[in-house]
Amino acid sequence: MKTEVIDISPTRKELRIEIDAERIRAELDRVSSEFARYATVPGFRRGRAPQAIVRQRFKKEIRGEVLGELIPRALGEALQQQPFSVIGEPQLRFENAESLEQLGAEPLAIHAAIEVLPEIALGQYKGLELARRTRPVKEEEIDEVIASMREASSSLVPVEDRGAQAGDIVTVNFRGRFVNEPEAEEIKVDEVDVQIGDEETLPEFTENLMGVRPDEERTFKVKYPENFKASGLAGKEVEYTAQIIAVRRKEMPELDDEWARSMGEGVNTLEELRERIRERLASYARDEAERRLRDEALQRLLATHQFEAPKTLVQQEMRQLFEATIRRMIELGLDPRNPEIKWDEIRATLEKQAEENVRAELLLERIAEAEGIAISDEEIEEEIKRLAQAAGEPVERVRAALTKSEAQPSIASGLRQRKAMNLIIENAIVRDEEWREDGKADSPEPPPSEAQTADQTSNSTTD
């Protein structure tokens, strides 16, 4: 068997594989003999027909089985001789399709188009000069967390001596009809809480429910914006009849030591609560600074290591990012089918991110290979336990799901890449610098710890 490698690009190659005629004839004889043992041919007892007649009568079937045996075997042998790693399934074609009619008369040449991992020549990845900038915790941030916690521990008190005003919660039974769709089904929703003046409340509701009292009824129209998150209402006008059930105001707890003690075990004073919040925010700021440091290191390495990302891997990553985007939209109550969503721009952004992700993974894997980084079964087991804890699921269930989806190699790969990045940071020259306010443009969303503080320590509800 002869094999020739044709380079098309750093990630695409074509193999020309020539299978000897003698090997083909031997396989033809073997398959024909098998057919002759079991084939039924008119005029002959089963298994007694001459092989030449069997080969002629079952020519198409025999040829299919011969090719089905020879080609995968020859392709496997050819790939084993190569130094590169193949991605996905090869695309096959015959060099001369006419030669199939006289199979075995001459060598058979096939071409296999394959995608491969790029060869990455490592440059400097140790001794990188990096800057760590940790955002200081401001008193205003602590005040915001305190305010959020007070809000979460507030109570709702019925209002009887006045009409509803900004900040009040109005409980309403709504009946609505679509103004331009007389045949559409009537809207019926009961005991809906509407906060007057809230940024999430449409202005028409705030304007028309301002001043209402229990048992009062009001009728008004609402024109929903085209990009309204509920697609059934987007762009439509509805006339509502609102029956007021209750009007309540928020009563905030006193900002004192007694309230602070109700916010968490081990907290005795308001100052102690502020200090605990400060520690949470500082911890998050340190974690964020570490993430930025790693991102900076990775971007530097990607800039100094230029190589092509295989399209197959980019497409796989793109699909995962796209599906995650859809799920996130649905979680936020957005309809992915909304025509105002600029999917072309989103796809372009995701494709760029997918390519960068793939290049980063390949580069870290290459560094892990160069450093001889290996992952033990114990480390994989610890990672599975961590994933189970994060998901709030039993370890056995998570392990079974990962085994079923054959995801354990991906876990090992992720751990290798994490170790490679740790090695890069450990060998970097890192200087701590003062936080620059212009870094705000790249600052993350409010730290989860702010929202979690109320969830973890508050003993009250908002309703």
Q: What is the pLDDT of residues 267-282, one digit of tens each?
A: 999 999 999 999 999 9
Average pLDDT value over all residues in the chain = 89
Please name the residue that has the structure tokens 């952004």: 349
Q: Within 10 Å of residue 372's Cβ, how many Cβ atoms?
A: 6
Q: How far apart are the C-alpha atoms of 124 and 133, rounded to whole Å?
A: 23
Set out the domains of the chain in order of their start, with CATH numbers: 2-116 (3.30.70.1050), 129-135+258-457 (1.10.3120.10), 155-251 (3.10.50.40)
Is the pLDDT at 374 greater than 50? The verdict is yes
The first and second tokens of residue 278, run together, are: 């400060």
The first and second tokens of residue 116, run together, are: 């491969």
Judge residue 263's burial from the number of C-beta atoms within 10 Å of its C-beta, 0-12 exposed, 13-18 middle, 19 or more buried: buried
Alpha helices by DSSP H, listed for 126-255, are 139-152, 203-209
Task: Express as a percent the part of the chain with pLDDT over 90.
Answer: 69
The first and second tokens of residue 60, run together, are: 């198409």
DSSP state of 127: S
Tell me the C-alpha to C-alpha distance, in Å, between residue 411 and each of 29, 120, 291, 359, 395: 47, 22, 20, 18, 15
pLDDT value for 404: 84
Instruction: State the DSSP H helix or E strand holding residue 397, giving kind and residue range, or none if neither.
Output: helix 395-404
The first and second tokens of residue 36, run together, are: 């002759």
Q: For residue range 153-198, list pLDDT tens digits in order.
A: 999 999 989 999 999 999 999 999 999 888 889 999 999 999 999 9
Q: Within 10 Å of residue 438's Cβ, how many Cβ atoms?
A: 7
- Using the CB atoms, write b or e for 125-155: b if 16+ within 10 Å: beebebebbbbebeeebbeebbebbbebbbe
Q: How far apart are the C-alpha atoms of 28 and 55, rounded to whole Å?
A: 9
Whole-number CA gyration radius for the chain: 34
Is the pLDDT at 438 greater than 80? The verdict is no
